[in-house]
Amino acid sequence: MTLSNAPGSNETVYTRMGRLLDLKIASEADAVRLVRNGLSSRAFLRIEGRLGLDADSVAPPSTRRRRIATKARLSRDESERVMRLARVYGEAVELFGDEKAALEWLKTPADYLQDDAPVTPLKLAESDLGARLIESHIRRTAYGFV
């Protein structure tokens, strides 16, 4: 999927996800296989540090600390949450054509849920439905429908 018209940009959402997690991801199939096998705690630490995630956005703090200390693989559910956040990040970078601008947008609260308090795209992307809402917003913005 290519949303951005950035000159010379031949990266995909998947290569951006892979760079963020320090993994080889070239397709959705690669992402599925990685989630099925469980991501490493190192991948979690990379995305946590880069995106400035809340400690409990992927797993409860006690579970997170134990997995990191023992270098255990994340569960399938935890791996899926990490991959989902990486995908939203990759799509945001593609939209903005700039990582700094994408990160700023991902961390800026807005009124995505009518009658609720403003929330950041990253916080919404912690759930599957929230990520779908944010990805839909990214696509509508990319094609001028916002």
Residue 75 lies in a domain: yes
The structure's pTM equals 0.86
Question: Which candidate, 38, 129, 110, places its Cα nearest to that of 79?
Answer: 38
**Count of structural domains, the chain:** 1
The answer to whether residue 81 sits within a structural domain is yes
The token pair at 54 is: 């809340």
| Domain contains 118 | no
Task: Confirm whether 41 is domain-assigned.
Answer: yes
Residue 76 lies in a domain: yes
What's the domain range around 44? 13-106
Instruction: pLDDT tens for the chain, 146 residues: list them.
Output: 344 444 346 789 999 999 999 999 999 999 999 999 999 988 988 998 899 887 677 777 777 777 777 888 988 999 999 999 999 999 999 999 999 999 999 999 999 998 899 999 999 999 999 999 999 999 999 888 86
In a domain, 50, yes or no: yes
Residue 134 lies in a domain: no
Q: How far apart are CA 138 and CA 98, in angstroms?
A: 14
| Half-sphere exposure for 132 (CA within 13 Å, toward CB) | 3
143 within domain boundaries: no
